[in-house]
Amino acid sequence: MSAPIYETVSIEVPGSTANLGLWFDAAGAALSDPTLKVTLQAVEQGEGLGRIGIGHDESIHVAPGRQVGDAGRLALQNYLHEIDETQHSLKVFFSSDSPDGYRSGGTGLSGAEAVGSVLAAAVMFDQLIAVDTAINASAAGEPGGHKDNVAPSVDGGIQFLTNPLGMTKTHFHRIQPPEMLGLAIVQSSHQKQGGTEATRAILEVPRSSSEMKGQLGRATMAALALQDGDVQTFLELVYTDEFHEPKRANAGLYGNFTAHDFWQLKQKLYDDYGVGLAVSGAGPNLQLWYDREFASDAELAGTVLSEWFGEHAMTATVKQLHIPATGALQYAQRTYANWVMHRSDV
């Protein structure tokens, strides 16, 4: 056991949005808003040897049944065990400087908790930590260990990931989004029941070979379009998921509409305004992808979308943002000079 080199460490963590339509559990993007501030403090051992206390302020808003800090605590406990620093008493506090605070439901709150907690501990105890190590350690706090939910918060950009067949190692590939690619998060008033894991049983249905072939082809082409900066091809494909969105829509997880209703809305938004609509993570929030050259069309699409939600007895707020190029790891490197010097000397 070593003494902390900092008594208090604060890390700012970008939120994230996962799946990106076609890439179920295999892609995610960092969000410039909301961001989560995670503050880790070493406390006197008299306050509880090895204890991890959790707190948060009123800027964090969670759906019924959710508990702020559960993911952060679990990831931190696992990471402290890995680095043999389990005897310290610590407090973790979660807050957000985002104008609307931090709301759960497709913006990566649990992933951001885990990422911030792990990286704050790495800084506090002077631990060298690589990108993939930070992602894997943070995913330990996520229900189901979803790395697509934490990779963008760790390293920014748009992240693709996969496991080679028969291997536990995960490959990560970061793409910086094309300059003209726009993204808005549509915040829905719908309150789904149960967390992300509760929605997974709905997907346990055999898939036809034609479904799998079509999804694979569209996902591959859309990823290549992103890599090449081809925004128009990406927008034409990103909303065309056949795997998870239709089944969850029919189960009412996204709101008061069916998969057929949702598909008709998607087609109208693309045909009339050239935008791609997809679900953010397990929902109910949505992603509205567009070409910045045609931002006025995207604004009109947002108005149509809000009106459509109103017709279905819900509200939707469209928030424009961007995908940050860096994540919490780079924030930690910039902010804590002693830790950066240690890393550069290795």
Low-confidence ranges of the chain (pLDDT < 50): 49, 344-346
Q: What is the 3-state secondary structure (H, E, C) of 128-154?
A: CCCHHHHHHHHHCCCCCCCHHHCHHHH
For 181-321, the fitting CATH number among 3.30.70.890, 1.10.3720.10, 3.40.50.2300, 3.40.50.300 is 3.30.70.890
For the chain, residues classed under CATH 3.30.70.890 are: 181-321
- Structure confidence at residue 346 (pLDDT): 40
- Structure confidence at residue 104 (pLDDT): 78
Q: Which fold is adopted by the domain 8-176+324-345?
A: Ribosomal Protein S5; domain 2 (3.30.230)
- Structure confidence at residue 5 (pLDDT): 85
The sign one gets for the Cα dihedral 102, 292, 18, 278 is positive
* Preceding peptide of 34 cis, ω within 30°: yes
For the chain, residues classed under CATH 3.30.230.10 are: 8-176+324-345
Give me 301's structure tokens: 């699409």
- Structure confidence at residue 344 (pLDDT): 47
The reported pTM is: 0.91
CA nearest to 79, candidates 34, 32, 40: 40
- Structure confidence at residue 198 (pLDDT): 58
The sign one gets for the Cα dihedral 308, 312, 315, 320 is negative
Please give the Cα distance from 236 to 222 (Å, whole number). 8
- Structure confidence at residue 345 (pLDDT): 43
